[in-house]
Amino acid sequence: MSAENPYDLQEYSGSPRPQAHPRRMRTHAWLRGHRAPDLAGARVLELGCGDAQHLIWLAAEFPQMKLVGVDLAESGIRRGRDVARAAGLALELHAADLCAIDAGWGEFDYIIAHGVYSWVPPAVQDALLRVCAERLAADGVAFVSYNTLPGGHLRCLLEDMACFHVRGVADPARRMAAALDFARRAVGWSAAGEPERAVLESEYRRLADMSASGLYHDALADINAPVLFADFAAHAARHGLAYLDEAHFADAERIWLNAAFAAEVAELAGDRVAREQYADFARMRRFRQTLLVHAGRTVSAHPLAAAVRDMSVAARLTAGPADAAGARSFGDGKSGSITVADPARAHLLELLAQMAPARLPFADALRFAGAADVEAQADLAQFFLVLYSAGMAELELDRTPIACVVSERPAVSAYARWQVGQGAAVATPRGQVLQIEDALSRALIGLLDGKATVAEIAAALAAKVSAQNLPLPPSLPANLTVGELEAVLAARLPEKLAELARVGLLVEAA
C-alpha cells in the first residue's frame, strides 16, 4: 500500500455510535456500582475520531460539553470541521498523533477509542491505553473497541488471503475490487460439503456486504490484530485500568442468563476476567466494546438490580395472545420472547410498547405494576435487568431529550438538519439511523428548527416545493397552487410530525 495515510486515500465516513455515548457509559457504570461523572458539562475525548461524526452528534445534544477529537488523517479532521461549522456546533478537532497527547491536553470524564486498538502497531496500542489512564478523570470511563479471539480466527481466514492477493495494489478502488474477486474465487476452491466451505461462504458474504470504507480500512488493513480478551485486560491493567463492563450490555450479559453455563464456568474460572474469556470461547466472539475505569474503583462483578431504581426503561415489544392459563408472550422480533403470567406485569409491558420510544421512569413502572412492598419492587427491578440483559429492553440513567409528543414548534437536532441536506440518512438522538427517501420529508425535516409553528412550517414547505420543484408523493393531488398546497400540507403535517415523533427523531426545543 501507499506510504500515504490510507484514511486520506479512502474516505472513512463516520456515524453516531449509541454504544459509545457517554449516556450509555454512565448507565453501565451505575449498574456496576461506579458513579461516573454527570453528563452536563462533561469533558469528552475521542481518539481516532475520523471525521468526528460521533462528536458532532453529541454536540447537537450537549452544547455545554467539552468535546475534543484527534485523528492522524487531516482529511477527516477537515471534513469534521466543515460539518460542525455548517451545523453551527462547537467542538475542538486536532490533526495529531495520539502518541503525543500529554498533560497539556487536560483531563477528560469520558474517553472514546472506537476502531483503533486492533488496527495500530503495539507501540500505538500502548500509547492509547497510556492516554486513557493518564487523561481519564478519577471517576471517568473509557471506551475501547477491538477485535477478539477466538472468533477473530474465522474473520481472518478470508481477510488474510485477500490481503496477500492485493499486497501490491495501492489504489483503493482497485484494491477492493481485486480483493472481492479473489474472495469469491477462494470460496469456489473449497470442496462443496466441506466444513471450511460454509465458513468461507459466510465470510465472503460479510465482506461483500461491507461499506467501501469498512472493507478498505478494516478488512484489508495492513494491521488487523485480534486479541484474547484476557490479554487486552492484562494490557489495560499494566496501565492501571480495570474492566468495568461492555458497552453493548446484552452482547455481554445474555450468555449469563443460562444458569447451567454460568455454573460450569464458575468451576473453571476464579475471577471475572477469566469468566469473560470463557464466555468468549463459548460464543466464538469476534469483537468487544469494553468500558474501563481506574484500577481500585468499586466495580460489582454482577450488574446491580438496585441501580435500576434510578433509571427509566423502554421496550418495543409486541404482545401475543394469552394462553389457556392467561399468560402473555412478548417479543421484539429479534432478541426472543418472554412469557408473563402476572396480569399487572403484562399490562406494564403493553404500556411500554404503546409509549415507545418514550422511557418510563422506574417509579412510575412500580405504580403501573402494582409493586407496593420492598420485595415486589426488588423483583420488578430484577425483571427489567433481565430484559436488558436479553436485549429486549433499554435502561437509561440520564434522559434522552426526545419529544414523544409534537410540540407547538417542533424541532429536530441541528445535526439531523445538516444530515438531511446531504442525503437520505438521518440519525435520531438515540443513534438510530433512518433512511428518509422522499424529497418532501427531507425538506420538512430541514425546516424543523424549533422556531416555527406547524402553520408556518406548512407555508415554508409549500414555498420550498414550488421554488425547487420537489416531487410530491402520489398520495397528494397534482398541479396545486402554492396556496392550495399549503392548505393540504397544513392538514397532513400533524400526522407526519407524529410519525417523526414515533421513530424518535423529534427533540425537545431549547
> Residue 2 has what pLDDT?
43
Q: Are 351 and 368 in contact (CB under 8 A)?
A: yes
- Reading the block at residue 449, the C-alpha cell is 428548527
Q: Please write the tens of the pLDDT for every residue from 430-478.
A: 888 899 988 999 999 999 999 999 999 999 999 998 888 888 888 777 7
Within 10 Å of residue 331's Cβ, how many Cβ atoms?
A: 15
Contacts of 189 (CB under 8 A, 6+ apart): none
Cα four-point dihedral sign 38, 145, 303, 296: negative
- Specify whether the CB–CB gap between 214 and 172 falls below 8 A: no
Helix (H, G, I), strand (E, B) or coil at 33: coil
Q: What is the pLDDT of residue 412?
A: 95
DSSP for 284-337, written as a single string: T--EEEEEEEETTS---SS--GGGGGGSEEE---EE----TTS-EEEE-SSS-E
pLDDT of 481 reads 87
- pLDDT at residue number 477: 78
Cell numbers at 480, concatenated: 396545486
Q: Which residues of the chain have pLDDT under 50?
A: 1-2
Cα(14)–Cα(454) distance, integer angstroms: 33
CA angle 314-320-326, nearest 5°? 105
pLDDT score at 335? 72
Give the pLDDT score at 457. Answer: 96
Q: How high is the pLDDT of residue 14?
A: 80
State the Cα–Cα distance between residues 494 and 255, nearest whole angstrom: 44
Alpha-carbon torsion 151, 157, 159, 164, what sign? positive
- Closest C-alpha among 462, 445, 456, 453 to residue 503: 445
Amino acid in the structure at residue 93: L
Handedness of CA 164, 165, 168, 169 (dihedral sign): negative
Distances (CA, A) of 25 to 7, 232, 276: 28, 19, 19
| pLDDT score of 510 | 65
* Residue type at position 443: A
pLDDT recorded at residue 468: 86
pLDDT digits (tens, 9 = 90+) for 65-103: 999 999 999 999 999 999 999 999 999 999 999 999 999
